[in-house]
Amino acid sequence: MKFVSKNTELNFVDGVGFLTFPSLSEIGCVHHAFSTRIGGVSQGEFKSMNLNFKRGDKPENVTENYRIFCEAAGFDYDTLVSSSQDHHTNVRCVTKKDCGIGIWREHDMPSVDALVTNEPGVTLVTHYADCTPLLFADPEKKVIALAHAGWRGTVGKIGQETVEVMTEQYGCDPTDIIAVVGPAIGFCCYEVDTPVYEEFACLTELKPAYFTKSLGHGKYMIDLKETNRRMLLEAGLLSINITISDVCTKCNSGLLYSHRASGGKRGGLIAMMRLEQA
Ligand SMILES: [Zn+2]
């Protein structure tokens, strides 16, 4: 399996593969990782590091995968808080009392596609398999956030919603926020029909010509990552503070679960992030 990227690192610890983003690593106050398929115990279409409890995999295997992943990537299993994603744009602020939700405690709230915290004892977890991961860190106010932006979340502006919560509830200045638009299905592979294209064409303030391309016959290519990048610029982030991972999940479906590449027979990837203790 060949992995090529200019801005995303593939790490191996104890046989577990995970991705990191140098632009987040270098700010020092956050610890983060993005999972791959490598190093878990799941079998068949879930092979092997499936971190999604909702895909039909054996729960004990998913739990074991979380334990293996946390050990390898340097996270504390007891502090995980997972989103209950369903392509909406609700942002939830979480604290230590929420630890375990969606992992070793039941989800207590539906429709949470983004998580924010300012507590070092909390590890945020969000789920992907082609959808766009948005990772945020404010090194000044010490606030972090993760968001899940599929096409619905993207046109619903979950990136902007997340930045608004960071600014309004935690006092962040958008120009301080470092963001990564993580591994997702790329412009190379994300083909849609007219109804989805039209949702993106409506985002006129972002200049859709930069992230849509017609193939003719009612087929279009959409650049989800670039759409999200432009939305974050609209939200006040600085261009220099936004990195787009050049990794396409569908082009790398041996390494990463891709919903499109697998026809939906797949496990799930996660982004994990926590603040380091001061
Ligand atoms: Zn691709």
Per residue in 230-254, pLDDT (tens digit) is: 999 999 999 999 999 999 999 999 9
Per residue in 45-54, pLDDT (tens digit) is: 999 999 999 9
With bands split at pLDDT 50, 70 and 90, how would you rate the model's confidence at 277?
confident
Q: Over 80: is that where the pLDDT of 278 sits?
A: no
Q: If you average pLDDT over residues 181-190, what whole number do you get?
A: 98
Ligand 1 centroid – CA 252 distance (Å): 8
With bands split at pLDDT 50, 70 and 90, how would you rate the model's confidence at 194?
very high
Q: Over 90: is that where the pLDDT of 174 sits?
A: yes
Ligand 1 centroid – CA 249 distance (Å): 7
Class for domain 9-187+246-275, per CATH? alpha beta
Ligand 1 centroid – CA 112 distance (Å): 27
182 - beta bridge partners? Answer: none
Ligand 1 centroid – CA 256 distance (Å): 12
Ligand 1 centroid – CA 123 distance (Å): 30
Q: If you average pLDDT over residues 127-156, what whole number do you get?
A: 97
Query: Got the DSSP string for 20-59?
Result: E-HHHHTTSSEEEEEE-STT----GGG-S----TTSS--H
Which pLDDT belongs to residue 9? 98
Q: What is the pTM of this model?
A: 0.98
Mean pLDDT of the chain: 97
φ, ψ at 244 (rounded to 5°): -105, 120
Segment among 50-59, 108-117, 174-183 with least mean pLDDT = 108-117
Which pLDDT belongs to residue 85? 87
Q: Over 80: is that where the pLDDT of 1 sits?
A: no
Q: Which residues contact 236 (CB under 8 A, 6 or more apart)?
A: 163, 167, 174, 175
Percent pLDDT > 70 in the chain is: 100
Phi-psi region of 109 (alpha: psi -120 to 50; beta: other; left: phi over 0): beta
Ligand 1 centroid – CA 186 distance (Å): 5
With bands split at pLDDT 50, 70 and 90, how would you rate the model's confidence at 109?
confident
